[in-house]
Amino acid sequence: MMRMPWFGWQSPATIAEAAKILAGEGPQAMLIAGGTDLVPNMKRRHQTPATLVSLRRVAELRKIANGAGLTLGAGLTLTEIVDSAAVREKYRGFWQAAAQVASPHLRNMGTLGGNLCLDTRCTYYNQSLEWRKAIDYCLKKDGETCWVATASKRCVAVSSTDSAPALISLGAKVKLVSAQGEREVAVADLYKNDGIDYLVRKPEEILTEVVLPDAQGWRSTYWKLRRRGSFDFPVLGVAAAVKLAADGTVEQARLALGAVASRPFLVDKGGEFLKGRKLTDEAIAEAGAIVASRAKPMDNTDLDLYWRKDVVGSFVGHALREIRGDDMRAMRMRIARQAL
Amino acid sequence: MNAPAKPREKTRFDTIGKPRRRVDGRAKAIGQTRFADDLVLPRMLHAKLLRSPHPHAIVESIDVSRAQAQRGVHLVLTGAEFPVPYGIMPVSQDEHPLARERVRYVGDPVAAVIAVDEQMATEALQLIDVKYRKLPTVASPEEGLAKPEPRIHDYGERGNIHRNQSYEFGDVEEALARSDHVFEDLFFYEGNTHLPMEQQASLASVEGDGKLLLQSSTQNPHYLHRQLARVLQVPAAHVRVIATPNGGGFGGKCDPGNHEFVVAKAALMLGRPVKICLTREEVFYQHRGRHPVLMKVRTGVSNDGRLTAMHLQTLLDGGAYGSHGPASTFYTGVLTPVTYELPRFKFEACRVFTNKPACGPKRGHGTPQPRFGQEVQLDKIAERLKLDPAEMRLRMVTQPDSLTASWLHVGSTGLAECIRKVVEMSGWKERRGKLGAGRGLGLACSTYMCGAGVSIYWNKMPHSAVQILLDRSGQVTVYCGATEIGQGSDDVLAGLVAESLGIDPGWVRCVTGDTGITPIDLGSYSSRVTIMMGNAALQAAGRLRDTLAAAAAEALDTLPDRVIFSQDRVFAAQDAGKTMSFIEAIALAEAKFGTLAAVGSYAPPKPPGRYKGAGVGPSPAYSFSACVVETEVDEHTGWVTVPKIWIAHDIGRALNPVLARGQVIGGVYMGLGEALMEEQAFRRLPPKLSSALVHRNPSMLDYKSLTSLDMPEVEVALIEYPDPNCPYGAKEVGQGPLLPVMPALANAIHDAVGVRIDEIPITPDKVLRALEKKEKGEAPRVGPESFPSVPYPAPTFVLPPWEGGDGNELKGQEGRKAA
Amino acid sequence: MSAVPDRVHATLRVNGEDQQVSFAPYKTLLEVLREDLNLTGTKHGCELGECGACAVLVDGEPLLSCLELAVQCEGRDIQTIEGLAKGTELHPLQAAFADHGGSQCGYCTSGMVMTAKALLDKEPAPSRERIREALAGNLCRCTGYQQIWESVESAAKALREGKR
């Protein structure tokens, strides 16, 4: 049986207490919430923190607050996000993203904050210690070479969070709290395109909540590509949020991609292109081409990388057609294998 | 003394054919079934294996002193403790429990630690210092053919060729030359693995009498027993193997595993129980799964769509060890002629060693690959000749009680009925070609053996034996070495005995898979259990019935052959009022004859082929299947979905229809997974920087198997033409229904979007590439482009039955010319 | 740095009974159930959250016991396959899995049954689609799932008809 390494254990009851522990223990301490990312990683010895600081008992992390927008505690499970009527009705793309993370059990355990902070993934990295020894390790952990791109000085492990691209398209922010204070960061600015140092969050900071802006007038959607209808991380995530005028003209549009780089990111040019246009087939195709040109999948996850790039335009098309109001249920069923 | 008259055979059944809770269903549903890793013994220690990080290397030295000194460590073992090699087949004894001089793939075990708990054992593995000298590696059979040195093994045909063979039944070139059409196609079938839910686990202990007991998740306790005695050099009578219920096998637990010898040795050395459970990653290294096979198929066809001859060439990627390879090599061809009339057949096969985990038997053992090639090629033939693929097949199915060109005897066959049934169920005639853009239907057929006609080691003894003990309480205890791997072998055993004795299966207690208690059964492989165990069980039960009838007849005022067994009672045939309970009949018989027990055994009939090599392929009976797959293909992305599958399976008779249907759907599921996504794939790092050759996806996340959301509905028809060689007519169902699914999907994709994917798995990138070729006006096909030059030997030439042959080889060119 | 103890002592509420248990702190709930409480009905297929064989109910929700640290489980209501039957009377889900082919090798059965129980507790009459979605985190290699869906449907019907 795969087993965890030895670790110390702390279980604070408040954010302040947790922040204080992190400040005291330094980088050898790690936060654990649902554990669905960290526990497998620890079993494979990717991370071997001396201390685990559990956020389970921190009630503040589990609030849902309505205001102008919606504030969601980072400790809410993905199932709780999916069960939230406010999320489902106002932030459809985010709801669809959350509903497609991993599997039902993993959504029952995994948290919103955990999905946003998900470790980057790579088929040369997400392996046991023994396997990684057989390739003399890799740049991301214990080695010197990136086996995906041997000339690369940067780790190209892929961002695999579903919720982040959706939240980026919706203009959401997160709150980061440490013993020194707190700050707000747009989800779009939370990530760096570096497979190792992929978050702007500092080790002593706790991601405590996600703040969604008012969504009046916006329509959003998320299309996830993965091999199976369950379990699999995305090999492409297309999130779109569009504000349409009464006549169907695009007032604002934000298109974001996931799983095609070490970070999820906004394709500004795609949104700018759509602004002032109607969602005609031609405009959708052009937007698809613009967005596709920004996707840089690598050979470090499931499915053929050239194919993954080839289909980005089609997935942008599915997203924008759904926003236009086309009946995409049959296509959704074929891709996601469930109604969303 | 005259033999007592036999009671008449049943014409109506109480148990057989009726849906019934399987005998082990309750224990499984409440979590009470004890799988190997669920077993715990007092003072039990835990073992872990140190595995090679190198794909090919000489082990120069191993220093275990630091590990040995570690707290909690009781024993460290290396190859030095295991001088005797093993291997499932007598001709490929090429493995050692722990490597002695050489490691041959990443994951090859080199040392073992036995410690107080798994955590301590795992930590101590890191303290073993092994010095390796790296060797050049072979990653594919093409490379193995091109690079005879260094040899991965110092035995085999030559260089890195493990097995190389050629058979020709009638002059194939001559037949091809006079055929109206000759179709030549290349196909590739990627390797994949069993992925049983249960990871292999074994618990070894020394029993009170000082003898070794190994409780293990094995499909073949008998073969394991023999190998344990050999490798550990202890008398076989001092070894007992209990096959614990397997949490799925699919062929993956047929070979003896390194871990089994290690814990057995450790238990004997320490006098304490030692358990091991492989991690999921290690299960991928134990492998023994589907061989990657490259195929070249040349088939002659007449204008009306009849086959004239076929020349099949296969090239197998064997991995690092022999395993079942010699048999696997045969199976990439021998069953090919069983489905359709094929006047002449030539079959060449070559298995090459590579530095990857050993391939072996997986559900369908060696036959899904050529079946895929043949059935896709038939679809191409039908297309070219403008024939309906179903009609074309119907016209050439093999006939009952016939011989193939290769001298296999086909007994009963329901293939034609299977085809007609799936055509009807799927609406083939009405719907095919009319489903609209991107949607299609594809059909394919297959066959499988009901047990291999020859044992893995040569002997003239029974393949299966059953002993039944009747207790005066009414309890019927049935002993058999057969192994429950989830397929329902215990249920088959209980059901057959219950039917034969006319009692409820609830009276029957099965004691199975225990080489210390139960009579021989060779194991759960080659779909042999229902037929061989079943025939043995019916023989034993029949003998008991004779005894009971002889005792009861007098009391019932009738003749022994007029005694009927039914509904837990014994009746006089002519007067149902004359009756007694089954227990009363036992009491009479026990009083008259003494303790009531009987044995039965079974050996398959002698096959008609007499040439060397004719032992692989014969079977007492063959099952047949036909399948239609419906698919939707997105023309922009190549994304493939399968909304529905119909399958008809010629099972002879369904003993318990719930289980039979479950086996069919389960086979379809596994076939569809192979067709769409399952791949045992490897990565070789850039050779200038690294010699690594690693499994690409050794986890349940990365090795893709269909989830509940990915599996379509399957509509099943069981075709029941009872086979006279089989118990109550029941043929196999565990493997056959997997076989037609892959080609049916490929054919459906062609029907949907007009492209040919001549390669398994059919992934969306391949479909999109083929669609792009079609768009550009190129041949709309993705698949292998060339077949390497393989130094196949001169063929063993045998004349087909209809050309005056006698089943023997015709030696040399002279004999051939004379023919 | 916090000191790492050799053992931790906890009271776990398993199948309605408080169990005093002492275990190495690195252990997951799966390891404690199987190794320290001898509740081996809960299986393991990957220990990385990739198969669902180890699913148990924690506070009524199906979770993967291989990823749940045992130290986090104190005070929570844990239900395993062993606690499902009422005496010798099977839960309708267990009876249905045994009768309708939902269980072949039986290795995924515990996780399947517990997950299905959580579904039926919330939705007494789920559609086939809902059943497929709810069980999407439980791999099975034997059945092709269809007889599992049918077993759940049969059990749901039995439960609705008050067979328990």
Write out pLDDT tens, residues C94-105. 999 999 999 999
Q: Looking at residues B214-232, what average pLDDT do you find? A: 98
pLDDT interval class at B259 (50, 70, 90): very high
Residue A39 touches chain C, beta carbons under 8 Å: yes
pLDDT band of residue B812 (cuts 50, 70, 90) is: low
What gap in Å lies between CA C142 and CA B666, rounded to an integer? Answer: 5
Give the number of other CB atoms < 10 A from CB of residue B641: 18
Q: Is the pLDDT of residue B1 over 60?
A: no
Of B693, B647, B695, nearest in space to B670 by CA: B647
What 3-state DSSP class applies to B672?
Answer: helix
pLDDT of residue C2: 52
Residue A251 domain flag: yes
**Non-local CB neighbours of B237 within 8 Å, separated by 6+ positions:** none
User: Using N-to-C axis directions, what is the helix angle for C146-160 and C92-99, rounded to 10°?
Assistant: 140
Q: Residue C1: inside a domain, yes or no? A: no
User: What is the pLDDT averaged over residues C6-35?
Assistant: 96
Other C-beta atoms lying within 10 Å of the C-beta of residue B9: 9
> Which alpha helices (H) appear in C50-145, and where do they start and end?
92-99, 109-122, 128-134
| Chain segment B680-711, per-residue pLDDT in tens | 999 999 999 999 999 999 999 999 999 999 99
Query: Between B486, B700, B705, which is nearest C104 by CB?
Result: B486
A105 and C25: CB-CB below 8 Å?
no
Listed residue (B94, B58, B98) closest to B78, CA to CA: B98
Question: Taking 90 as the threshold, does the pLDDT of residue B134 lie above it?
Answer: yes
* Chain A from 104 to 133: CB within 8 A of any C CB: 104-106, 108-109
Domain count, chain A: 1
φ, ψ of residue B445 to 5 degrees: the values are -130, 170
The mean pLDDT value for C24-45 works out to 98
Here the tokens at position B715 are 């509509």
- The two tokens of residue B11 are 């014409």
Record: contact C107-B35, CB cut-off 8 A: yes
Does residue B523 sit in helix, strand or coil?
coil
Which amino acid appears at position B717 of this protein?
A: A
Residue A75 falls inside a structural domain: yes
| Model confidence at B57: pLDDT above 90 | yes
pLDDT of residue B296 exceeding 70, the answer is: yes
Which pTM value belongs to this model?
A: 0.98
Sequence ranges of the domains in chain B: 25-33+461-602, 43-135+194-286, 166-192+289-453+612-782
How high is the mean pLDDT of chain B? 96
pLDDT at B362 over 70: yes
Contact C81 B30 (CB under 8 A): yes
Residue B215 pLDDT > 60: yes
Report whether B198 contacts B216 (CB < 8 A).
Answer: no
Where residue C6 falls among pLDDT bands split at 50, 70, 90?
A: confident
Question: Would residue A218 count as lying in a domain?
Answer: yes
Give CA angle at B603 (B598, B605), nearest 5°.
Answer: 135
A75 touches chain C (CB under 8 A): no
pLDDT in tens, C111-142: 999 999 999 999 999 999 999 999 999 999 99
Digit-coded pLDDT (tens) for B313-353:
999 999 999 999 999 999 999 999 999 999 999 999 999 99
How crowded is residue B13: how many other Cβ atoms within 10 Å of its Cβ? 14
The tally of CA atoms less than 13 A away on the side-chain side of residue B587 is 8
Domain of residue C21, CATH code: 3.10.20.30
Mark yes or no for CB contact A131/B686 under 8 Å: no
* Structural tokens at position B203: 């618990």
Give the separation between CA B595 and CA A111, rounded to whole angstroms: 66
Q: How much is the pLDDT for B817? A: 54
Select the residue of A126, A150, A307 nearest B764 (Cβ to Cβ).
A307
| Domain annotation covers residue A22 | no
CB C106 to CB B33 under 8 A? yes
> Could you tell me the fold of the domain covering B43-135+194-286?
Aldehyde Oxidoreductase; domain 3 (3.90.1170)
Query: Which residues of B fall within a CB distance of 8 Å from A133?
Result: 53
The number of beta carbons lying within 10 Å of the beta carbon of residue B779 is 10
C111 and C75 part of one domain: no
CB B277 within 8 A of CB B37: yes
What span, in angstroms and rounded, lies between the C-alpha atoms of A228 and B741?
19
Is there a single domain that holds both residue C19 and residue C69? yes
- If DSSP codes are grouped into helix, strand and coil, which group holds residue A24? helix
Does pLDDT of B740 surpass 60?
A: yes
> Could you count the other beta carbons within 10 Å of the beta carbon of residue B576?
11
Per-residue model confidence (pLDDT) at position B2: 42
Q: What are the pLDDT digits (tens) for B389-422? A: 999 999 999 999 999 999 999 999 999 999 999 9
Classify each residue of B258-272 as buried b or exposed e, where b means 16 or more C-beta atoms within 10 Å of its C-beta. Answer: bbbbbbbbbbbebeb
Are B239 and B214 in contact, with CB atoms under 8 Å apart?
yes
Two structure tokens written together for A236: 């492409």
**In this structure, which long-range contacts are made by residues B91-95, counting pairs with CB atoms below 8 Å and at least 24 apart in sequence?**
B91/B322, B91/B326, B92/B162, B92/B321, B92/B322, B92/B323, B92/B325, B92/B326, B93/B322, B94/B153, B94/B155, B94/B321, B94/B322, B95/B258, B95/B321, B95/B322
Percent of chain B with pLDDT over 70: 98
pLDDT at C20 exceeding the cut of 50? yes
Amino acid at B250: F
| B580-622: pLDDT as tens digits | 999 999 999 999 999 999 999 999 999 999 999 999 999 999 9
pLDDT band at C163 (very low <50, low <70, confident <90, very high): confident
**Alpha-carbon gap, residue C91 to B475, rounded angstroms:** 28
Rounded CA separation C66/B803 (Å): 64
Contact criterion met (CB below 8 Å) for B342 and B174: no
User: With 60 as the cut, is the pLDDT of residue B9 above it?
Assistant: no
Q: Is B719 helix (H, G, I), strand (E, B) or coil?
A: strand
pLDDT digits (tens, 9 = 90+) for B629-680: 999 999 999 999 999 999 999 999 999 999 999 999 999 999 999 999 999 9
Q: Give yes or no for residue B818 having a pLDDT over 90.
A: no
Predicted local confidence at residue C25, as pLDDT:
94
- Residue numbers of the domain that contains C139: 92-160
Cα B335 to Cα B345: distance, rounded to the nearest angstrom? 11
Alpha helices in chain A (DSSP H): 15-25, 38-43, 78-83, 85-90, 92-99, 104-109, 112-116, 129-134, 163-169, 268-274, 281-294, 305-310, 312-324, 329-336
- If asked whether residues C73 and C101 sit together in one domain, one would say no
Among A221, A259, A235, A236, which residue's Cα sits nearest to residue A313? A236
Q: Do C75 and C117 fall within a single domain?
A: no
Average of pLDDT values for C79-95?
Answer: 97
* Binary contact (A51, C49; C-beta < 8 A): no
The tokens 């996340």 sit on which residue? Answer: B701
Q: Which residues, other chains included, contact B775 with Cβ-Cβ below 8 Å and sequence gap of 6+?
A: none
CATH code assigned to B25-33+461-602:
3.30.365.10
**Are A131 and B281 a contacting pair, CB within 8 Å?**
yes
Is there a domain that residue A286 lies in?
A: yes
Do B43-135+194-286 and B25-33+461-602 fall under one CATH topology? no
> Can you name the residues that pair with B629 across neighbouring β-strands?
B442, B645
Assess if CATH 3.50.50.60 describes domain B166-192+289-453+612-782: no
pLDDT band at B623 (very low <50, low <70, confident <90, very high): very high
Residue carrying the six token digits 């060449």: B348
> Which chain A residues contact residue C4 at CB under 8 A?
6-8, 50
Distance (Å) of CA C138 to CA A105, A231, B662, C30: 9, 9, 18, 16
Q: Which residue, A70, A67, A73, is CA-closest to A15?
A: A73
Confirm whether C55 is domain-assigned.
yes
In whole angstroms, what is the distance from residue B451 CA to residue B524 CA? 10
How high is the pLDDT of residue B816? 61
Considering only CB atoms, B31 lies closest to which of C48, C81, C143, namely C81
- Chain A residues whose CB is inside 8 A of the C44 CB are 1
Q: Is A230 within 8 Å of C64 when comparing Cβ atoms? A: no
Q: Is residue A10 part of a domain?
A: no
Tell whether the model's pLDDT for residue B459 goes beyond 90: yes
Crossing angle between the packed helical segments A281-294 and A312-324, to the nearest 10 degrees: 140
CATH number of the structural domain spanning residue A242:
3.30.465.10
All residue ranges of chain A with pLDDT < 70 are none
Q: CA dist A59 to A71, A73, B381, B600, C74, Å?
A: 15, 9, 68, 68, 17
> C124: cis peptide before it, omega within 30°?
no
Q: Which residues of C touch A103 (CB under 8 A)?
A: 52, 136-137
Determine phi and psi for B657, rounding to 5 degrees: -60, -30
- CB atoms C47 and B280 under 8 Å: yes
Number of domain units in chain C: 2
With beta carbons less than 8 A apart as the criterion, state whether C103 and B247 touch. no
Q: Which helix (H) or strand (E) holds B428?
A: helix B428-431
How many residues in chain C? 164
Tens digit of each residue's pLDDT (9 = 90 or more) over B707-732: 999 999 999 999 999 999 999 999 99
Determine what percent of chain C falls in helix, strand and coil, rounding each to the nearest 5.
35, 20, 45
What is the extent of the structural domain holding A313?
Answer: 60-117+158-336
**A48 CB-contact burial (10 Å; exposed 0-12 / middle 13-18 / buried 19+):** middle
ipTM: 0.98
DSSP string, B562-588: GEEEETTEEEETTEEEEEEEHHHHHHH
C2 in any annotated domain: no
- Two tokens, residue B635: 């023309």
Q: How many CB atoms lie within 10 A of CB C41?
A: 24
Please report the pLDDT score of residue B12 as a whole number: 87
**Is residue B694 within 8 Å of B586, Cβ to Cβ?**
no
> Does residue C58 fall inside a structural domain?
yes
CB contacts < 8 Å between A and C, how many?
108
CB B565 within 8 A of CB B497: no
Nearest to B583 by CA among B600, B596, B598: B596
A-B contacts (CB, under 8 Å): 99
What values do phi and psi take at B211, rounded to 5? -95, 155
Given a cut of 50, whether residue B490 has pLDDT beyond it is: yes
Contact B589, B552 (CB under 8 A): yes
